């Protein structure tokens, strides 16, 4: 949670999980739990969601991830993100999927690059949920078009 404005207290975290489950039940897709088979039943989540704020690129579907720190560097986010892109483009027939993070978040930017997303600095934005001057306010936006996916 280093690149999020704050860690959620347990009650807010549980409410977020409930909202995520409702959205998944309504849409049939969302943020999926990630496990390491035979090792750990839950290390985080990866999947698709719809951002709840307005920006120059919304409405859209984004791909995102949060993996427990002790499991970073093993390729889990990358593997699950590729599976999420496959689902989004092949099953949902989306034309575009985006991903964004604070410009300081080099690890997530690395995942976006490894899964083949592209960056145009003209797309970068100040996150509307963060106050002016906040260290995490500036965000980078990466995109993948269906045509890019089909070429991979």
Q: Is 75 helix (H, G, I), strand (E, B) or coil?
A: coil
What is the total residue count of the chain? 152
Strand residue runs (E) in the chain: 31-36, 40-49, 62-67, 96-102, 118-119, 125-126, 138-145
**pLDDT at res. 136:** 93
**pLDDT at res. 115:** 97
pTM: 0.91
Instruction: Name the DSSP letter for residue 70.
Output: G
User: How many whole angstroms separate alpha carbon 44 and alpha carbon 71?
Assistant: 9
User: How many whole angstroms separate alpha carbon 62 and alpha carbon 40?
Assistant: 26
The rounded radius of gyration (Å) of the Cα atoms in the chain is 15
Domains in the chain (CATH in brackets) are 10-151 (3.40.630.30)
142 backbone dihedrals φ, ψ, rounded to 5° = -115, 150
Q: What is the pLDDT of residues 4-59, one digit of tens each?
A: 555 667 787 788 778 888 989 999 999 999 999 999 999 999 999 999 999 999 99
Provide, rounded to the nearest whole percent, the portion of the chain with pLDDT above 70. 95
User: How many whole angstroms separate alpha carbon 139 and alpha carbon 19?
Assistant: 24
Angstrom CA distances, 82 to 18, 36, 49, 68, 142, stand at 25, 16, 15, 18, 14
Q: Is the pLDDT of residue 107 over 90?
A: yes
Query: Which helix (H) or strand (E) is 25 found in, with range?
Result: helix 10-27
The dihedral sign for the CA sequence 148, 96, 20, 124: positive
């Amino acid at each position: 949670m280093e690149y999020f404005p704050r860690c959620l207290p347990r009650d807010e975290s549980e409410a977020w999980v409930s909202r995520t489950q409702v959205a998944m039940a309504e849409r049939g897709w969302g943020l999926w739990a990630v496990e390491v088979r035979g090792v750990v039943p839950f290390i985080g989540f990866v999947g698709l969601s719809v951002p709840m704020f307005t920006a120059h690129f919304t409405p859209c579907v984004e791909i995102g991830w949060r993996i427990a720190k002790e499991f970073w560097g093993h390729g889990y986010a990358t593997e699950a993100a590729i599976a999420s892109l496959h689902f989004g483009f092949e099953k949902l027939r989306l034309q575009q999927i985006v991903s964004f993070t604070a410009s300081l978040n080099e690890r997530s930017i690395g995942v976006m690059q490894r899964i083949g997303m592209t960056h145009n600095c003209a797309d970068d934005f100040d996150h509307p949920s963060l106050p002016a001057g906040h260290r995490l306010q500036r965000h980078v936006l990466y995109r993948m078009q269906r045509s890019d996916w089909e070429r991979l």
